[in-house]
Structure 1
Amino acid sequence: MKRTQSGITFIGFLVVLAVAGFFAYIGMKLFPMYQEYYSVKSALKGLANEPGIATADPAKIQDLFFRRLYINYSDNVKPENVKLTRGERGWKMEVNYEVRKSMIYNLDVVGKFDAVQELTRAGDADS
């Protein structure tokens, strides 16, 4: 009597399901952190395309930046995480922040994010 393999057992299926569930859980914890980082990067790029940004006041630049972040529900970036330095052709904006999410019991995941953008677009500041 010859037996042939007929597929995965119920226990094997549960193990595969548990591993897939664990990785899905990790992904659900990490995805919002990276989505917020993408929002910061796109806000910086949008700000760099703003006419007259190279000659704008630093307070106005920060206000425009945080308005763009507010639209995307980004709440981990604070004003103390933003640094503006004057360059030859305009401003250099650096955003450095950290996000800490609880994973399981006393295990946390920490993401450190850094973004830099040159703000050199000259033009009419009122358009």
Structure 2
Amino acid sequence: MAGKQGRKKARSTVSGPKKPAAAKPATVPSCKYHLSEESVQAVLNHKRVPFVLGDYFDDLTPEEQQLMLDVAAQHEQVEDRYAKYQERVRKELDEKGFVALPDDVDKRRAALNAASREAFRGVPEVK
């Protein structure tokens, strides 16, 4: 009898207190692909870069000025989207300990590579 009680006591002390959700250790991803540690750090370390029109802006034609303003607006949209992506990566890393990629990432990558090859067909490769 004493042996059973001793084992029960040992089991109860081995389990210890539960860790809070935010302190979850990295687990084996339940997804097929996940971001590498280097990629995660690159995303999290990205700092927003403001678009600078430059001192020459007033010397541009009205059409060139409008083009610069359009590019500046696109730049800000990209930075806004990246900030949201950065927050999603940070949240998923805190919750799961890794950042999952979609299971069809291979298919998406192949489509992107095909579109890129098509867009640059005929452009000489820089060596």
TM-score (normalizing by structure 2) = 0.28
Q: Which has the higher strand share?
A: 1
Higher relative contact order (CA 8 A, sep 6+): 2
